[in-house]
Amino acid sequence: MDRFEKDFRYDNERNVWSLKARTDVFTYSDGDNNENYLLSVMRNAASCEVMSNDLTRAMKDWPSTYHLHHQRCNLFRPIDSLTIGPILEIGAGCGALTRFLGEKGETVVALEGSPRRASIIGERCRDLPRVSVLNANFQDFHTDAKFKTITLIGVLEYARLYFQDGSAEDPIDQLLRRVSSMMAPDGVLIVAIENQLGLKYFAGFPEDHLGTPMSGIEEHYDDNSVVTFGRKELGRRLADAGLSEQRFAYPFPDYKFPEAILSEQALTGPHAEKYADLVAGCVVNDRQRPSRPSFRISKAIRPVVRNGLGPDMANSFLVMCSKTEGALKGTLESGAIYFGNGDRKKPYLKVVEFNEQKNGLYVTRRALTDIPPPSNASVTQVLEDELFVEGTNWGSKLQDVMLKRNWSLEDVEVWARVWFEAFKAKADIPSSTRLRADTEIDGVLMDAIPKNLIVDDSGVGHFFDLEWKAESKLELGYVLVRGLADSLASVESARKSKHSSDLTSLIGDLCAGLGVPLKRAEIYVQLEKEDKFQREVSYKPGVGSKLRLLRSHISHPNVNRLDKVLRNLKRSIYFFRHPF
């Protein structure tokens, strides 16, 4: 701590070092009420650890979720070998990433200009003696120390507002040059920032800082505003600061809540198109998704990747850079890492790694935490490694069916029958068997639903990632309803159809067409079972599924959005919709 005593004064009550000299007021804030709430949460939580259930329970809106959610830390998990102390975190915010770095045992200097935000970090990291919280603007922070790692996470874009050295040079370049001078010879700078030319912004997502669509693409920035960059310009600015050793990676849906992080090789190499379903499964979960994007990113991503535009049109960047050749070796050189949606309960969070081998992509799965599931769990999570199967993800295929003009029940039934036949083959059910809704099915097939089925070019179905195993036998009716409802919940939009009924009736009609009729009341029973399962493994339980499904209708004029329909369905039953 002695190294700060010249310019800073330590406040034990806040666990914060503050500048002795008077400086300009730092104005950035998420609002008094929001930040006071976060400070109260940190002071009253029994644990402020990254995986603290106290913090999870305290998430109640967008600001609190952003600052408290452990999913933020996925950004650093794939580059763990690079985040080595001493670490300087510039613009530490409310300490979500500070806490993650501190729990690694690294020496961390968390620099934050806002006094209240610094206090939040101080409380959050009070039990981490190697974390020092400094309340100061970067331009007022002076040290002779050299840092092994420096981070600019969602910070570089604000340089024109909060950092100037008095010269006529662009503050972006001023900031990068100063950061470069503070790095150890083999030090690494980690930058996360939105892509000015990200595909989501062409689809009508508002620019994250200006809040209006197209304002980044049309460059509504000026010399005194936030600014973002495309891939080429960002790389050039980093190189101009002496950081010529660069490695770009691509978080999806963005760097704020990454569900997957893809390497450059993943988006440009021979397996690039195979990752399209992975990206598609992430982008539909963007927490800042507008109600009516101009097009479906999940569908556009495949031709974008196929034409080599994946890196240039990724939604955001994670950039590792250094002045020293070889400093980045071994980190995200190829493949991808997938974490999935972070709203699962802690024992069921997972990590999926895609490793490129001579015979294709090999997929490995493991638990993210060492937190054991409850002893009375009704399901077992099965995490197995396997070779990536090429073909069409059958859950995603339903979107194509429902985008046809005047699609019919028969069209959806043809789609459903491909899955059901593959399911019966997997379950070793003879084709002559008379099936009923109460036919018993082995619990190992609980997850043999369309999203976990790949149909290859020869029409053969292959199930993968059968993650959930029920401890007891299942009814066939439950698996049917689970698979159909999950697939419908993944549909982003649909055209006008010949079929006019609510979603419950559609599920019932499909089950009848497959030879397993279920009455409406029986469908509700199966949905309630699904609710119970989701409550067991997820922090987003199903609520009110009967009423919501009754009010949901699938027939709308013209080219209709199913936003309202599917929002109701998704709110009532929380599905894990990802292809992996």
Give tens-digit pLDDT for 386-423.
Answer: 999 999 999 999 999 998 888 999 999 999 999 999 99
Which has the minimum average pLDDT: 129-138, 314-323, 467-476, 557-566? 557-566
In this prediction, residue 162 carries a pLDDT of 86
327 compared with 502, residue with greater pLDDT: 327
Could you report how far apart the first and last alpha carbons of the chain are, in Å? 46
Of the pLDDT bands very low, low, confident and very high (cuts 50, 70, 90), residue 508 is very high
Of the pLDDT bands very low, low, confident and very high (cuts 50, 70, 90), residue 501 is low
CA atoms within 13 A on the CB side of 462: 14
CA distances from 481 to 416, 475, 547 (A): 11, 10, 17
For the segment 495-512, the average pLDDT, to the nearest whole number, is 83
Of 528, 508, 527, 510, which Cα lies nearest the Cα of 519?
508
User: Can you point out the beta strands (E) in 256-391?
Assistant: 260-263, 316-322, 336-338, 350-357, 360-367, 379-381, 386-387
In this prediction, residue 541 carries a pLDDT of 55
Which has the minimum average pLDDT: 124-128, 432-436, 523-527? 432-436
In this prediction, residue 500 carries a pLDDT of 63
Query: Does the pLDDT value for residue 437 go beyond 90?
Result: yes
In this prediction, residue 471 carries a pLDDT of 94
What SS3 class is residue 502?
Answer: strand
**Phi, psi dihedral angles at 476 (to 5 degrees):** -55, -35
CA atoms within 13 A on the CB side of 298: 24
Which has the minimum average pLDDT: 481-490, 492-501, 517-526? 492-501
What would you report as the CA-atom Rg of the chain, rounded to the nearest whole angstrom?
25
The pLDDT > 90 percentage for the chain reads 73
Widest distance between CA atoms in the chain = 84
In this prediction, residue 203 carries a pLDDT of 94
In this prediction, residue 151 carries a pLDDT of 98
For the segment 338-351, the average pLDDT, to the nearest whole number, is 92
Of 140, 144, 191, which Cα lies nearest the Cα of 164?
140
Which has the minimum average pLDDT: 69-73, 163-167, 183-187, 513-517? 163-167
Domain boundaries, the chain: 392-572
Tokens 């010399």 -> residue: 223
Tokens 């699609």 -> residue: 407
Q: Specify whether the CB–CB gap between 462 and 473 falls below 8 A.
A: no
Which has the minimum average pLDDT: 61-65, 183-187, 274-278, 522-526? 274-278
In this prediction, residue 3 carries a pLDDT of 63
Instruction: Look up the pTM and report it.
Output: 0.89
Query: Does the pLDDT value for residue 12 go beyond 80?
Result: yes
Strand 260-263 to strand 336-338: parallel, antiparallel, or no bridges (unpaired)? antiparallel
Q: Specify whether the CB–CB gap between 110 and 87 falls below 8 A.
A: no
Query: Does the pLDDT value for residue 72 go beyond 80?
Result: yes
Which has the minimum average pLDDT: 124-138, 426-440, 534-548? 534-548
Of the pLDDT bands very low, low, confident and very high (cuts 50, 70, 90), residue 494 is confident
Of 527, 437, 525, which Cα lies nearest the Cα of 482?
527
Q: Specify whether the CB–CB gap between 419 and 305 falls below 8 A.
A: no
Q: Identity (one letter) of the amino acid at 39?
A: L
The pLDDT > 70 percentage for the chain reads 91
Mean pLDDT computed over every residue of the chain: 89
For the segment 115-137, the average pLDDT, to the nearest whole number, is 97
For the segment 451-460, the average pLDDT, to the nearest whole number, is 95
31 compared with 570, residue with greater pLDDT: 31
Structure tokens at 121: 């970090």
Of the pLDDT bands very low, low, confident and very high (cuts 50, 70, 90), residue 227 is very high
For the segment 475-502, the average pLDDT, to the nearest whole number, is 86
Angle at 285 between CA 497 and CA 54, to 5 degrees: 135
Query: Does the pLDDT value for residue 431 go beyond 60?
Result: yes
